[in-house]
Amino acid sequence: MTELTNSQSMSFILARVPEFRSQWGVFLLNDDSETPGFCNEITEFARFAVTTLKLDDTTAATTAKSIFQTVEYLLAFGDPSVQSTVTNCFLGSLLAHCSHGTLEIQQMLPYLGEQTCKEVESLVATGTK
């Protein structure tokens, strides 16, 4: 299996989490750069994850599960650049929301896969929040 690259990752995310498409379209309309870059793109996906995790219904729980399964896949099958960007920009953004009180870490814990959990633990251990 070929590893996913940064340039392939957003298409993969949009295919796996179609609920994100609307927010993604707004992001692209408001972005002035020619290419926002994968860190900016995945950070927008993290904003979507935060919004989803704050909702308390069955649909949101299903979407949250899809979000974190997608992140788990990127960490397992993305190239090293994808893995690093997902860890630092997506998971780092979620932890920043936790440290600012806009998200409680308990809201995402049920959805963390094995690799995602390891990366979160690593970020917390190094003080990245």
Token pair, residue 53, equals 């995790």
Q: Are 107 and 50 in contact (CB under 8 A)?
A: no
Place of tokens 């995402």: 108
Residues in the chain: 129
**pLDDT at residue number 28:** 78
Neighbours of 6 (CB within 10 A): 18
Give strand ranges (E) for the chain. none
**Nearest-10 Cα torsion for 80, 119, 50, 129:** -110
> How much of the chain is helix, strand and coil, in % rounded to 5?
80, 0, 20
Token pair, residue 126, equals 């190094």
**pLDDT at residue number 33:** 65
**pLDDT at residue number 129:** 45
Average pLDDT per consecutive 10 residues, the chain (129 residues; last block may be shorter): 89 96 85 78 95 92 97 96 96 94 91 93 77
